[in-house]
Amino acid sequence: MAKDQLKLPEKVSRFVLTIGATANQNGTAMFEGVTVIFLAQFFGVDLSLQQQLFVMLICILGGIGTAGVPAGSLPVIALILAGIGVPPEALGLILGVDRLLDMCRTTLNVIGDLVAAQVISTQTLAAEAEAGTE
C-alpha cells in the first residue's frame, strides 16, 4: 500500500514503517490510558495528579515497548493498575471486548505509521528539490 497507493519512496517507507511498527504504537498507548482510567473509576479509585501523570508516562512508554501481538498491552495495563491501587484482576471486565478493540487500535497504529511515513517522505523530497536548485 505504501509503495503502490501512497507512492512513497522505498528508502523512506522501509525505514519509517519498520521503526513505526515497533515504536509508534499510539493506539496502544491511548487504549492503555483509557482502560486504566475506566477501571479506576469503576472501582471508585480517585486518581491524584501524580497518579495521573504516572499513568500517562507508563502508557507512553508502554506504547513504545509493547509487543505487537493480540492482547500484548494487557500485561502493561495490569502493571499500571497495580501501581495505582486497582486490582489487576479488573482486566477481566474488558477481556470480552478486547479483541474488537485490538483491531481498532491496530488500525490506528498502522494509519499513524503511514501518516508519519508520508510526512517524512514529503519533507525528504522537498529537501532534495531544494538542494537540487542551489
pLDDT in tens, 60-105: 888 887 777 778 888 889 999 999 999 999 999 998 898 888 888 8
In a domain, 5, yes or no: no
Whether residue 66 lies inside any domain: the answer is yes
User: Is the residue at 3 inside a domain?
Assistant: no
Does residue 121 fall inside a structural domain? yes
pTM above 0.85, yes or no: no
CA dist., res. 40 & res. 87, Å (int): 9
- Asked whether residue 82 is domain-assigned, the answer is yes
Is-contact 58 80, C-beta < 8 A? yes
Number of folded domains that form the chain: 1
Any domain includes 98: yes
- Structural domain including 64 reads 10-133
**2 within a domain of the structure (yes/no):** no
Return the pLDDT at 33. Answer: 92
pLDDT tens digit sequence for 106-117: 888 888 888 888
